[in-house]
Structure 1
Amino acid sequence: MTKASDLLVQCLENEGIEYIYGVPGEENADFMMSLEKSDKITFVLTRHEQGAAFMAEVYGRLTGNPAACLATLGPGATNLITGVADANMDRAPMIVLTGQGATARLHKESHQIMDVVDMFDPVTKWATTIINPDTIPEITRKAVRLARSEKPGAVLIELPEDVAKLESNEKPLEPRRYRRSIADRDDIVRLAKRIAAAKRPIILAGNGCVRKRSSEQLAQLCELTGIGVLNTFMAKGCVDFVKPYSLFTIGLGAKDIVTCAIDAADLVITIGFDMVEYHPHLWNPNGDKNIVHIDFIPAEIDKNYHPEIEVVGDIADALEQLHAQLRELDFEFDLKQQQNTRIEMMNELNAWENDTARGKVKPQKVLSDVRALLPPEAVLLSDVGAHKMWIARHYQCHEPNTCLVPNGFCSMGFALPGAIAAAMVQTENPVVAIAGDAGFLMNVQEMETAARLNSNIVVMVWEDNAYGLIAWKQWAEFGHHTDLSFSNPKWTALADAFSWSYHGVSNSEDMQPQLAAALEHQGPSLVVVSIDYDENQKLTEKLGQLTCTI
């Protein structure tokens, strides 16, 4: 006979779970005692459950396999939910483990008791409770399979404290993986002919393209056809930005240089496109664009997104088949407008590398210097705020999954805990997180976790003493903004309190030397930049005057 909590740990080990991040409580004490005996799973104690969820999310996004986050019942579970929702909507595989009170008191009012399973239902792919210990192997196998299946997401397993003490004769189920279904060959043939008949096709690459095989096949397709690729925020790096077919990132919500390319297109080829990132009404407002859809799943129904052809199945395989079909066809595309878009955007990106502003540093200059210092395989994580818009537009990637942007649920507080998990996965590569002063302080307690783990991370805070993105959006719509300002801690004292190295930047000329020093430091480093957010309004005004020549 095996104790239920021991059996759950054995099942998680059997599924290849490497890390559980969390804050335990009284109601999952049996599980923690069982976990302590494991030599296959590492438990990472965090300072807040939300931080644990963001760590598990980043692990899932970087590896394609789930990590787990753990909390006790009641307030522990509610603290998890924002990070879990973020992972689920950003399509990161995750297992959520929560404790619960004894089953004898779940039917009535009782201390800290609430219906955790129902609460998590809207933000997970599946949420369940273990009532019978004999079901643990099936529940765990189903949970991991669902979490990994397209589109990936979060799954909740709740273990009540009395059930954890029960015993079972069951054994873990052997994980048996399946191959994704492949697209119908007739659909591929139709798609190839439709693309060959177009004059100005363009590719809109979404989150599904950052899977390694998908990005490799996408690059081969573009090498063959020359068709330009616009990527969404979460698809950054799906094609190397130095390639002539990279048209950079789309999704600001306002017309930008790169949107001129989609305006000019007579066929939009969406690949792995996810509506949670960039709604079609922003790039197809009249619903008159010719669209073809390649994805793991059928298209979401939307009046602005009504594809004439849907190729449903494994993306990498579909692109490989499409490549083979197009090799046999004649096509002649007019891609001059796309080439001009790339040149214009490259000029925009390169215009700031020698900026010499003092007192405050322009966002464009910061990101130019960050890109210049980081190797292609380095991982950059963005929090949510005005800086995210600048990262999306001005930070370019060579490889997939080297710029992690939360762009589905878009939760602030993501970057610091996410960087800790990224450093666990990318042990040989630099990890840099960029956050605003608002988002950074939302999970500032994880500075202690980073110090305790001696995480090799650099967290860069863009200081403007305000909720800058909200101010930007209010100003753009109403011509002014409400009072959104606040004060900040003494950054040097904060870094010292948590034994982090500290680097302050207020002049452009200091950006690269200070960042380089932070990257060389063994352990966590804090870089605080006095950021010039006057550039927000200047960019809005500039884009408002943009006209596209087709």
Structure 2
Amino acid sequence: MNGTIKNAQQIGAELVVSALEAQGVTHVFGVPGAKIDAVFNALVDSRIETVVCRHEQNAAFIAGGIGRMTGKAGVAIGTSGPGASNLVTGLATANSEGDPVVALGGAVATGEALKQIHQTMDAVSILKPVTKFSATVGAPEQVNEVMANAFRVAEASRPGAAYVNLPKDVMTHACAHTPLPFPAFAGLGLADSAAIKEAARLINAASTPVVLLGMLASKPTNSAALQAFIGKGNLAAVGTFQAAGAVGAMQFSNFGGRVGQLANQPADRLLESADLVITVGYDPVEYWPQLWNKDKDRKIVHIDVLPADLDNCYRPYAELTGDIAQTLQALTSLIDRARKSAISSSILELIQGERLLLAKQAAARNGTPVHPLRLVHELQQFVGDDITVCLDMGSFHLWIARHLYSFKPRQVLITNGQQTLGVALPWAIAASIVRPHEKVLSISGDGGFLYSAMELETAVRLKTNIVHMIWIDGSYDMVATQEKLKYGRSSGTDLGPVDYLKYAEAFGAKGLMINKPDEIASVMTKAFDTPGPVIVGVHVDYRDNHQLFEMLHEDSIH
């Protein structure tokens, strides 16, 4: 029977690794140390590849990227003390972004946990606020139980982060158990039938219904059901940054674009016009309700795996809680509205006209430094089905999130929950592992790049085919722009120069530079054709960044 005695000579660390294998884990990412070395030693004899990283935070970022693209928890591992505390930012990011991750941390022996000795730390308490699950394996008999529950919680409903604390004595004691399997039959079902019928009635009766797509709408199974839902009702839709790719090319004429962070996107006009909002897989952290629904007297239909967090600005009238794909399929069968609303049609036609005009204007921007719109216009030509795009946080992120389109779920990875600097390169490493036959483009500003640039060595060691683009302006520009709007000046935002070509070469990567707009296509083509990691630098003209912050709702600047 599963969970019973298998090998009396097995130790806790070996059972931890067996549990990872049972979960289908193929890679773990982390940094070794004395309190976790028994697990690292057991990994040598397993089918799992151990990827040594240069910082535990980046190991957690990579694991989060694995989780987002596969739906299965990625695994990060670190030692006790600072090894565990360095995981905090990566786990907080994954938890708020809905990315399943299980992190393993070493710890002093159980009998020493309350003593002030080397690397004593209450890591469970530190990590509890930024995870869905945080627990210590207190005895050998608990290893398989805690490991199974950590994975189950991390991957369940709205995914997130789990942390398992592994005391060094438990890892070296005999442990006579086997990994615990998940239930053979389990999962969410349809939402309440009465709620589905009421949602359909509201949608059929609405004058201008608009669908607001969130992170879980971009889960492939949910995205497939979404296409039929939007098509059957001829519904207008907008998406948060993290819902990128949820709407397919066939429904692009119904898509108003992305909303999030700054309430001045073209799609905000469409959302503003709605007399009924249907949210699908949406979490308020993606786009705060007070930015898009403050003082609005309109009904909301909430379709998600979890009930809504009730808010003064987010009070669903119909709540459809259950499996999103199944619920959408049931709801679609009850939709009876063949025509798009006149208001939605008018706004969508206007947005499409603006897209075409903007593309024409972007192609004509020939100055140096290079304007963001020209860069986005040129990069759009490379975003086919065979590429994954990983974005860091910064001014460049807003230009791309607003103007770059994709039609494949989880093709464009964007940070929005914690808006974390440094995620792009680690996510790109994850993409190169999950999608080894695809091209990977990661992009950061010069401010965010050095947060995780040490992992370029990891990328080179793994022989990953990554193109990492750095938009250079010598500052934390997004912060500076907001400071100037608030105070009339900036503070603490200027950076020193870095020779990115020499930096790349020092790590064994290729370095390329875009010096003028007409070089973008040729340099990027060369970068994608070059084996191994490539760093591409480009000096960017951010003089129009103030336009990103125009016509903002109150509280958008934060």
TM-score, normalised to structure 1, is: 0.96
Among residues 260, 266, 286, which one is paired with 2:295 in the alignment?
Answer: 286
CA contact (8 A) 1:150 1:296 kept: yes
Cα shift at 1:538:
3.8
Cα shift at 1:365:
1.1
Q: Distance in 2 between matches of 1:459 and 1:536?
A: 22
- The one-letter code matched in structure 2 to 1:157 is V
1:416 aligns to what? Answer: 425
Residue 481 (structure 1) aligned with residue 486 (structure 2): no
2:177 aligns to what? Answer: 170
Cα shift at 1:250:
0.7
Cα shift at 1:264:
1.2
2:116 aligns to what? Answer: 109
Q: Distance in 2 between matches of 1:236 and 1:184?
A: 28
Q: Distance in 2 between matches of 1:229 and 1:339?
A: 10
Residue 58 (structure 1) aligned with residue 65 (structure 2): yes
Among residues 9, 13, 19, which one is paired with 1:5 in the alignment?
Answer: 13
Q: Residues 516 and 530 (structure 1 numbering): CA distance in 2 closer, same or farther, change over 3 Å? A: same
Q: Distance in 2 between matches of 1:253 and 1:196?
A: 31
Q: Distance in 1 between matches of 2:361 and 2:64?
A: 33
Q: Point out where structure 2 has 5 or more consecutive residues left out of the alignment.
A: 1-7, 554-558
Q: Residues 111 and 136 (structure 1 numbering): CA distance in 2 closer, same or farther, change over 3 Å? A: same
CA contact (8 A) 2:299 2:316 kept: yes
- The one-letter code matched in structure 2 to 1:53 is A
Q: Deviations over 1:170-190 (max 9, x none)?
A: 122223352213211221111
Residue 509 (structure 1) aligned with residue 518 (structure 2): yes
Q: Distance in 2 between matches of 1:154 and 1:182?
A: 26
CA contact (8 A) 1:196 1:330 kept: no
SS at match of 1:255: coil
Cα shift at 1:8:
1.1
Q: Distance in 1 between matches of 2:297 and 2:399?
A: 30
Give every structure 1 segment of 4 or more consecutive aligned residues whose post-TM-superposition deviation is greater than 4 Å: 329-332
Among residues 160, 164, 168, which one is paired with 1:157 in the alignment?
Answer: 164
Cα shift at 1:355:
2.5
- The one-letter code matched in structure 1 to 2:157 is E
Residue 122 (structure 1) aligned with residue 104 (structure 2): no
1:110-509 map, 5 Å: 110-177=117-184, 178-240=186-248, 243-327=252-336, 333-334=341-342, 335-347=344-356, 349-509=358-518
Q: Residues 348 and 68 (structure 1 numbering): CA distance in 2 closer, same or farther, change over 3 Å? A: farther
Cα shift at 1:31:
0.9
Q: Distance in 2 between matches of 1:333 and 1:92?
A: 35
- Aligned length in residues: 542
Cα shift at 1:348:
5.1
Cα shift at 1:314:
0.7
CA contact (8 A) 1:91 1:152 kept: yes
Q: Distance in 1 between matches of 2:168 and 2:63?
A: 23
Q: Residues 483 and 134 (structure 1 numbering): CA distance in 2 closer, same or farther, change over 3 Å? A: closer
Cα shift at 1:224:
1.5
Q: Point out where structure 1 has 5 or more consecutive residues left out of the alignment.
A: 546-550
Q: Distance in 1 between matches of 2:506 and 2:514?
A: 20
Cα shift at 1:301:
1.0
Q: Residues 69 and 483 (structure 1 numbering): CA distance in 2 closer, same or farther, change over 3 Å? A: closer
- The one-letter code matched in structure 2 to 1:132 is A
Q: Which moved more, 1:368-377 or 1:449-458?
A: 368-377
CA contact (8 A) 1:106 1:113 kept: yes
1:548 aligns to what? Answer: none
Q: Deviations over 1:177-236 (max 9, x none)?
A: 522132112211111111000011101000110111111111111112211110000001
Cα shift at 1:349:
4.1
TM-score, normalised to structure 2, is: 0.94
Among residues 15, 36, 40, which one is paired with 1:32 in the alignment?
Answer: 40
Q: Which moved more, 1:76-85 or 1:455-464?
A: 76-85
CA contact (8 A) 2:369 2:541 kept: yes
